[in-house]
Every structure is written in C-alpha cells, then in structure tokens.
Structure 1
Amino acid sequence: METVAFISTENGDDLIVSFAAIDPADPTGIESLTLLRTPKYEHLLGDRERGVSVSFKRYVEDDEELLEELHLDRKSAVVRLTTSVRTYELDLRKVDEREVQAMRKVLARMNYDRRIRLLGI
C-alpha cells in the first residue's frame, strides 16, 4: 500500500487527480500517481484509447494504462485503483479532507460517460 502525502487536482480542459505517494526507498521523496482525462480532445481517439489514463513514475515502461475502477473506502481512508494493467492501494490518512473532496469532484467529472466504476465517491 502506498502512503499518500497530498492530492492535487485540476478541473479545466485537463481533468487531473495526482496522488503524491511517499517513496518507500526515500521517505522524503515523492512519486506521483496521476489520473488524467482530456474530454475536449478525446473524440480524436479510438474507442479503446478513451478514458482515464493512469501513470506512475515507478512503472514508466507501461504504455497505455486505463482506469477501470476506483473504490474509496472513507472509513479506512483507502483508495483502490484497478487499471487495465495492475491494482494500486493508496492510504489517504495523511491527506487533508478538502483535498479528498476536490478529488471526488474531479473524479465525478472524469466519469461523464461512465467508463469507470466509481465506488464510495
């Protein structure tokens, strides 16, 4: 499980949720796990390429990783991301509640076409 220090979001042409995961090899280091969707230009992509792309600095060798499901367990403050390639578990206990609320809003906008399964949002 990855411990998240903070979450940053963007809610413009690009819809972005970026989790700042604490690097297990260096507790002072941060690795970004980023969810990105750009609805404005998505019509230019093929159907299989559309959706929320996922990137994590630790796994740069992977080409296209798309988000399939996100489950937020508010009680335990854990987010489970299931992608086309792997599953991530994120511990949000260190994250400010305002950042979690902003994340929830952006995720709802990202899912305008219901391509991803959102649970607990």
Structure 2
Amino acid sequence: METVAFISTENGDDLIVSFAVIDPADPTEIASLTLLRTPKYEHLLGECERGVNVSFERYVEDDEELLEALHLDRKSAVVRLTTSLRNFELDIRKVDEREVKAMREVLTQMNHDGRIRLLGV
C-alpha cells in the first residue's frame, strides 16, 4: 500500500486528480499518480481511447493506461484503483478532508459517461 501526503485537483478543461505518493525509501520524496480526463477534446479520440488516463511517475510506459474502477473506503481511508494495466492501493489517512471532498467531486465529473466503476465516492 502506498501512502499519500496530499491530493491536488483541477476541474477546468482538464479534469485532474493527482495523488502525491510518498516514496517508501525516502519519505521526503514524492511521486505523482495522476488521473486525467479532458472531456472537451475527447470526441477527437477513438472510442477505445476515451476515459480517464492514469500515469504514475514510477512507471514510464508507452502503453496507455485507463482507469477502470475506483473504490473509496472512507472507514479505512483507502483508495483502490483498478486500471487496464495494474492495481493500486492508496492510504489517504494523512490527507485533509477538504482534499478528499474535492477529489470526490472531480471523480464524479470524470465519470459523466459511466466509464468508471466508482464505489464509495
């Protein structure tokens, strides 16, 4: 499980949720795990390319990774992400509740077409 220091969000032309994941080897270092969707331009993409793109600074890959499901377990403060390539478990106990609320709002906007299985959001 990865520990998250904070979450930043944007809800303009780009819808972004970015988790600042603490490096277990060096707690002063973070890597961004970013969820990105741009509905304004998505009509220009093929059907199989549409959705929420996932990128994590620890994994540099040429393959496109799309978010398939996200489960927010508020009781245990864990976010579980299922993508087309891998799974992530994020511990968000250190994250301010306002950041969690903003994350939930942007995730709801990202899922305007129901492409993601959202649980607990």
For normalisation by structure 2, the TM-score amounts to 0.99
Q: 2:88 aligns to what?
A: 88
Give, as a single letter, the amino acid of the residue that structure 2 aligns with 1:111: N
Q: 2:12 aligns to what?
A: 12
Q: 1:109 aligns to what?
A: 109
How far apart in 2 are the matches of 1:30 and 1:64?
A: 22
Give, as a single letter, the amino acid of the residue that structure 2 aligns with 1:35: L
1:72 matched to 2:89: no
CA shift digits 1:28-65 (9 cap, x unpaired): 00100000000000000000000000000011124200
How far apart in 2 are the matches of 1:62 and 1:70?
A: 23
Aligned runs of 1:39-50 on 2, under 5 Å?
39-50=39-50
Give, as a single letter, the amino acid of the residue that structure 2 aligns with 1:27: P
How far apart in 1 are the matches of 2:86 and 2:98?
A: 28
- Shift of residue 26 of structure 1? 1.1
Alignment RMSD? 0.6
For normalisation by structure 1, the TM-score amounts to 0.99
How far apart in 2 are the matches of 1:25 and 1:38?
A: 33
Aligned length: 121
How far apart in 2 are the matches of 1:51 and 1:115?
A: 7
Could you say what secondary structure the match of 2:98 adopts?
Answer: helix
Could you say what secondary structure the match of 1:43 adopts?
Answer: helix
Which consecutive unaligned segments of at least 5 residues does structure 2 have?
Answer: none
